[in-house]
Amino acid sequence: MAGGLGQRVGGEGLPADETRVFWRGVTLLEEHEIAPTYELYLSGCPLHCPFCAVPGASRSVRAGERLEPEALVEDLEDDRHPPFRALAFVGGEPTLHLPWIRQVVPLLRAQRPELLLVLNTALCWERGLAPELGSLFDWVVGTVRVHQPACAQALGSPAGHPAQARAAAEALLDAGARVILRLLALPGHLDCCAAPLAEWIGGLGGDLRARVMLNYAPLGEARALPGLDRSLSEDAAAGAALLLPSWVARPALRPLFPIPERLPHHRDPPVSIDIDAGGRVVASMVTGTILPWLAEGDPSLRPRLAYLEPHAR
Ligand code: SF4
């Protein structure tokens, strides 16, 4: 499946009527520039990361359900959703679904012009796509994690993926796209991959924000893989946090999530809720589920929902 999907990325993509959505809803798990975010998870990914949080859906383009563009626009109006200011196409790898996305984006621009449109991609496509992606989306969020071809292969990706991802990001920036790069620091790959990637990011120009993600969690197959079966140690995380050169712009603010503490049962920590002087409902901790839960519990709170982050780095 991975090879077959890979051949279609950067080409014409899957026919629009084959696109499937396997999850959608509002989350705060994104950078503050684009949060809260209505996320649309599209099935299928040409990569095969052993730590993938959604292996079932990333390895099958048939996972999930059809969603007509008009039905999506209608769902966005559903007042059971908490407020959101961006809509992100997530995956899987959403560029597999460009034909469907090309139908959806004009509708969204017409019906919801205030929404920021975001592409969240593993940058596994040819650089020639960058000008179109840069014009379709207000933000492109790209994740990089490996630098060495051998490391890519060891992690289930083609040997050429690291170079392809760097070329794709550079082409997006050359095309004038607003880009957030996430450098996922993987245990055992700090010297060989994270450090040279951070140096590469330091040399990029354009409208870029970047950050190092320290919250790697061993999910799926990674739980059984030596080296990948644990989170970053405290020392490794402290070192990785310093990798990005100081001149690289960071996302404005971002929540910190105690992902390792949520494993293996994914129980959200207790959350304190308050109402501030401005009358806003404030949650002192954010999780992917807290806003929908609040909005459902008392719909009158929905327009006032806000949140504080427990730490800022
Ligand atoms: S790129 Fe993302 S969606 Fe694709 S396999 Fe890797 S973790 Fe899963």
If we measure between CA atoms, which residue out of 196, 209, 195, 200 comes closest to residue 248?
209
Q: Are residues 188 and 289 in the same domain?
A: no
Distance (Å, whole) CA 104 – CA 82: 22
Q: Are residues 154 and 272 in the same domain?
A: no
Q: Are residues 234 and 311 in the same domain?
A: no
Which pLDDT does position 263 carry in this prediction? 34
Which pLDDT does position 11 carry in this prediction? 57
* pLDDT tens-digit series, residues 145-162: 999 999 999 998 999 999
Which pLDDT does position 261 carry in this prediction? 32
Q: Is 49 in the pocket of ligand 1 (CB under 6 A)?
A: yes
Which pLDDT does position 283 carry in this prediction? 56
Q: Is 165 in the pocket of ligand 1 (CB under 6 A)?
A: no
Which pLDDT does position 311 carry in this prediction? 33
- CA of 46 from ligand 1 middle (Å) equals 8
- 159: Cα within 13 Å, side-chain hemisphere: 2
Which pLDDT does position 276 carry in this prediction? 61
Structural domain harbouring 299 = 255-313
Residues 6 or more apart whose Cβ sits within 8 Å of residue 284: 271, 272, 273, 274, 307, 308, 310
CB-count exposure of residue 121 (10 Å: 0-12, 13-18, 19+): buried
Tell me, what CATH number does 46's domain have? 3.20.20.70
- CA of 67 from ligand 1 middle (Å) equals 22
Q: Are residues 119 and 62 in the same domain?
A: yes
* Overall domain count for the chain: 2
**C-alpha distances in Å from residue 173, one per residue of 195, 207, 251:** 21, 7, 16
Closest atom of ligand 1 to CA, residue 48: 5
- CA of 73 from ligand 1 middle (Å) equals 26
Question: 234, 254, 274: which is the final residue of a domain?
Answer: 254
Q: Are residues 161 and 219 in the same domain?
A: yes
Please state the length of the chain.
313
Q: Are residues 241 and 279 in the same domain?
A: no
Q: Are residues 200 and 263 in the same domain?
A: no
CB 232 within 8 A of CB 240: yes
Which pLDDT does position 260 carry in this prediction? 29
Task: Give pLDDT < 70 ranges for the chain.
Answer: 1-11, 28-29, 252-313
